[in-house]
Amino acid sequence: MAALPILNFEEKISETVEQNQVVVVIGETGSGKSTQLSQILHRKGYSKSGIIGVTQPRRVAAVSVARRVAHELSVQLGDEVGYAIRFEDRTSNKTYIKYLTDGCLLREGLSDPELKQYSVIILDEAHERSLNTDILMGLMKRLMRLRPSMKILITSATLDGEKVSTFFSNCPVLQVPGKLYPVEILYSTERPKSYLQAALKVALDIHIKEPPGDVLIFMTGQDDIEKMVTKLEERVQSLEEGTCMDAIILPLHGSLPPELQVRVFSPPPPNCRRFIVATNIAETSLTVDGVVYVIDSGYVKQRQYNPSTGMYSLDVVQISRVQADQRAGRAGRTSHGKCYRLYPSMVYREELLEATVPEIQRSSLAGSVLYLKSLELPDINILKFDFLDPPSRESLEDALKQLYLIDAIDENGLITEVGRKMAELPLEPSLSRTLIEANVLGCLSEALTVSAMLSAETSLLPARSKGAERKRKHPASHLPNGSGLGDHIQLLQIFEEWHHENYDPQWCVHNDLQVRGMMFTKEVRKQLAQIMLKVAKGPVDLRANKKSRESKHDYRNLRKALCIGYANQLAERKIHHNGYRTLGYKSQLVQVHPSSVLETDEYGHLPNYVVYHELIATSRPFMRNVCAVELSWVSSILKKMEKLDVNKLSGSSYASESDGQERKEGTGMPINEAAAGNASEDHLNKIQAARERYLARKANK
């Protein structure tokens, strides 16, 4: 095995860590930082006073890196070296190096906010800026003061170490070279009218003119990928026999069943070039070996949240320079590579954002704010929490409003008893609230099922392909229809049927449900039930088989519990038609998503009130996953909405959270409000501008 570059820096790293509490380590792909940093610190004796914890944004990474390190140290995985991911804790009291997902570390923080069992925390892949990593970075900054002996390392693959260093009081930044081969970057001379056509042309050019090596093409989504695969197949076949080598064309995206995804890991037959047409799943999550050529469309599909409307949208936006470089790097893993960017260098230099807008500025923050509130950090005010890139004030206020309407915080912004229980549940706050109410109303079992089903929902239905869709149109689905009351009820009924079939995998296959997704649901439900047993004070009724009782009552209790949980996701039907307007937000006109099983009454009317799981703007604003509720349940929520006072929720919480103690400027967190507002508004404007440019170009073609 060739020596990893990072080992040449062992002395330097040890020394720097010795002398500093926080160190940023910049290491490109192949530097060995993920596997070696923990071992270096172990050799230096840091594992004597506690565990060396290394976080990863993804489960597979946590598991595979832990396995590798256990192997290198010749120990049994789970003994001295272990990992922890959801549903799987492979550590023991012997463990001194522990790899875990950042979500897992946050969970551990609930019972131990100072993370006392750790002597070292390494936040790996921090440049990906996942929501959880960002929260952890804020918490680490606070721990610096509380745990002076703890060592904190932040690792990043890109060169924006200065920003992180500034955040952590100008801590040192170490650079470790990677093992990537040089990649030649080739730009288009102008913007393509259709990047699909442009990608096709470049792909064929490579196939005809360039030496062997696989081609990785970055597209935005499943539709484009399927079109590209079809066209590329046609064109390759029409090439004259013997003019060039064979070709295999493989799609690669998240909704592809796992067995088709793994095809990219089997090497191609001899004298055959592979074309992998992928979403940004191939940017970080999956690494395809053998890629020499990358074709970069310059676009990505990104989900963003608008805190003033409570609506998500899924937009095609320009990638950032960091992303463009990451994509290019995929060509240099095995040898010299080439990256063809389907846009001019001017676009790269002047139009692309430096870095991707971090997730924390694109998501609803109700869950994260509840988490921070539940830690009850006496010195922290949520609106002034020190984030590397603060979310907008509007976004934080939206989170506070949501939490207030579902009783997780009181009118002064203080966490309630209910809120504390909610924070224990690994669910969105709306569903946590539903579970707690359901336990009161005697329908916890049903609510557990609904929550678990919604947690897995995207992976339940098999990948749609146009042909299969048409075939499936008529053979009537035998799945239950939610009794016309909506999608939550349908999800419940589906699971209950599966339960009656003794969780038979064949039943899933027969009903076009993904076995893996349903198994996941079952596991989530089990986990949620265990947590409810722990947090609920009164009796907990978990029997999964009381189907008849709730259904005889039209699932009234369950729907009532959902109504309490989704207090901030309520819509009222317009009088003359079946459109709805949302309540509680800047009122939006929305429609029930056509995939919904919600039914009209004998007059053709949909229910007057519904709650929705999610607002998503695609071709139009839609409510996805809706459930019929009743006016009498809604009225108390409406009253609460009227009473809502954001200033009290956010402003005065400061005084009460600090227990009346005087807080001097400079002893707590730096106050960063102005920056917060401007930074994210600026980001949003840029996203918007990029989107408009894209749409304009699309309209032109």
Residue 663 interacting with DNA (CB under 7 A):
no
Task: Round to whole Å and give the CA distance between 139 and 694.
Answer: 38
Q: Out of 29, 34, 130, 306, point to the residue binding DNA (CB under 7 A).
A: 130
Return the number of the residue (86 or 663) whose C-beta is nearest DNA.
86
For the segment 64-123, give every residue that binds DNA (CB under 7 A).
Answer: 85-86, 101, 103-104, 107
Q: Assign 558 to helix, strand or coil.
A: helix
Binding segment toward DNA, per CB under 7 A, in 191-199, 379-387, 414-422, 619-627? 619-627
Return the number of the residue (130 or 361) whose C-beta is nearest DNA.
130
Q: Out of 620, 631, 656, 678, point to the residue binding DNA (CB under 7 A).
A: 620
Task: Round to whole Å and give the CA distance between 517 and 515.
Answer: 5
Return the number of the residue (412 or 527) whose C-beta is nearest DNA.
527
Q: At a CB cut-off of 8 Å and minimum separation 6, what does 344 contact?
A: 187, 188, 189, 190, 191
Return the number of the residue (22 or 610) whose C-beta is nearest DNA.
610
* Smallest separation (angstroms) from DNA to the CB of 108: 9
Asked if 382 and 397 count as a contact pair (C-beta separation under 8 A), the reply is: no
Binding mask 353-392 for DNA (x = CB under 7 A): --------------x-------------------------
Q: Which residues of 623-634 are buried (b: 16+ CB within 10 A; e: fewer)?
A: bbbbbbbeeebb
Q: Out of 303, 336, 553, 701, point to the residue binding DNA (CB under 7 A).
A: 303
* Smallest separation (angstroms) from DNA to the CB of 281: 4
Element (H, E) at 165: helix 161-167
10 Å Cβ neighbour count for 511?
A: 15
Q: Which residues of 276-302 are buried (b: 16+ CB within 10 A; e: fewer)?
A: bbbbbebbbebebebbbbbbbbbbbeb
Tokens of 208: 């005809």
Cα–Cα–Cα angle for 131, 108, 538, nearest 5°? 110
* Smallest separation (angstroms) from DNA to the CB of 579: 11
Residue 58 interacting with DNA (CB under 7 A):
yes
Which candidate, 109, 164, 182, places its Cα nearest to that of 376?
A: 109
For the segment 535-594, give every residue that binds DNA (CB under 7 A).
Answer: 593-594
For the segment 226-265, give every residue that binds DNA (CB under 7 A).
Answer: 253-255
Residue 521 interacting with DNA (CB under 7 A):
no
Q: How far is CA 190 from CA 183, 317, 351, 352, in A?
A: 21, 18, 14, 15
Return the number of the residue (313 or 416) whose C-beta is nearest DNA.
313
Q: Out of 8, 169, 618, 688, point to the residue binding DNA (CB under 7 A).
A: 618
* Smallest separation (angstroms) from DNA to the CB of 282: 9
Binding segment toward DNA, per CB under 7 A, in 195-203, 218-226, 344-352, 433-441? 218-226
Residue 458 interacting with DNA (CB under 7 A):
yes
For the segment 32-51, give every residue that binds DNA (CB under 7 A).
Answer: none
SS3 percent helix, strand, coil of the chain, rounded to 5, is: 45, 20, 35
Q: Inter-axis angle of helices 366-375 and 102-111, to 10 degrees?
A: 40
Element (H, E) at 215: strand 214-218
Q: At a CB cut-off of 8 Å and minimum separation 6, what does 434 contact?
A: 447, 450, 451, 561, 562, 564, 565, 566
Binding segment toward DNA, per CB under 7 A, in 136-144, 196-204, 275-283, 331-339? 275-283
Q: Which residues of 635-667 are buried (b: 16+ CB within 10 A; e: fewer)?
A: eebeebbeeeeeebbbeebeeebeeeeebeeee
Which candidate, 429, 468, 446, 465, places its Cα nearest to that of 555?
A: 446
* Smallest separation (angstroms) from DNA to the CB of 112: 14
Return the number of the residue (47 or 279) whose C-beta is nearest DNA.
279
Task: Round to whole Å and give the CA distance between 550 and 450.
Answer: 13
* Smallest separation (angstroms) from DNA to the CB of 567: 20
Q: Which residues of 543-580 are buried (b: 16+ CB within 10 A; e: fewer)?
A: ebeebeebbeeebbbbbbbbbbbbbbbbbbbeeeeeeb
Binding mask 411-450 for DNA (x = CB under 7 A): ---------------xxx----------------------
Q: Out of 36, 39, 222, 392, point to the residue binding DNA (CB under 7 A).
A: 222
Binding segment toward DNA, per CB under 7 A, in 334-342, 612-620, 636-644, 655-663? 612-620
Tokens of 135: 């929260």
Binding segment toward DNA, per CB under 7 A, in 8-16, 219-227, 479-487, 546-554? 219-227
Residue 469 interacting with DNA (CB under 7 A):
yes
Q: Which residues bind DNA (CB under 7 A)?
A: 57-60, 85-86, 101, 103-104, 107, 130, 220-223, 253-255, 279-281, 285-286, 300-303, 314, 367, 426-428, 455, 458, 464, 469, 593-595, 616, 618-620, 622, 624
